Amino acid sequence: MRVVEEARRRLAPYLLTDESLLWSGRPDPHKHFTASDIFLVPFSLLWGGFAIFWMTAALVNGAPVPFALFGVPFVALGLYMIFGRFFYKAKRKRETVYGLTDRRALVALGTGSLSEAPLQRTPVDQRLSRDGLHLTVTFGRSARGWMTGPNYANTGMELFDRGNGPLGFYDVADVHGLQDALRRVPR
């Protein structure tokens, strides 16, 4: 209950005068993997493994220092993709609060950053996790597919997304509460 109260407190300054908050909550910071990881985990292991191999081979074979240093950013990116993105994702989830009003979907990140999507005439996509314990809801058209590029939302790789993904509530453990609030939104 403390989480809901904190979410309501953080969202209160963003509510319009005649707007009512139907639901508030947070993403589950303990849920680490998504469907995108079917691609991202093997890719990150290949990238990181090759980058480490490159650096090791360059250092062991006595390559000039600039040649060896060329691999440093690739190793750093590989380590981030393998490990770092999960720490970043968990930290981001602990700082995120979601709110659903009778008019808008609100996502407050950290302190003072708010994203919003109007609910009227906006497509809403609900996806229940395989185990049925988490719900992900996206508002608006999804920017997925080979023509629009990948959607890195909720992967820890949002740094590379350039804002292409839709606004979403990711990995919400209050499945029934959020679904009930979505049913109460006027269309």
Residue 115 lies in a domain: no
Tokens encoding 103: 């008019």
Average pLDDT of the residues in 49-68? 88
The dihedral formed by the CA atoms of 156, 108, 23 and 162, expressed in degrees to the nearest 10: -50
Number of domains present in the structure of the chain: 1
Asked, for residue 104, whether it belongs to a domain, the answer is no
Does residue 76 belong to any structural domain of this protein? Answer: yes
Q: Which helix (H) or strand (E) holds 74?
A: helix 72-79
Residue 94 lies in a domain: no
Question: Does residue 70 fall inside a structural domain?
Answer: yes
**Does 73 reside within a domain?**
yes
Helix axes 37-60, 72-79, angle to 10 degrees: 150
Residue 95 lies in a domain: no
- Asked whether residue 45 is assigned to any structural domain, the reply reads yes
The three-state secondary structure class of 108 is strand
By residue range, what is the domain housing residue 74?
37-88
Cα(10)–Cα(123) distance, rounded to whole angstroms? 26
Model confidence pLDDT, tens digit, residues 98-152: 999 999 999 998 767 888 999 988 889 899 998 899 999 998 865 454 444 556 7
* Chain mean position to CA 162: 13
pLDDT digits (tens, 9 = 90+) for 60-105: 988 888 877 888 999 999 999 999 999 999 999 999 999 999 999 9
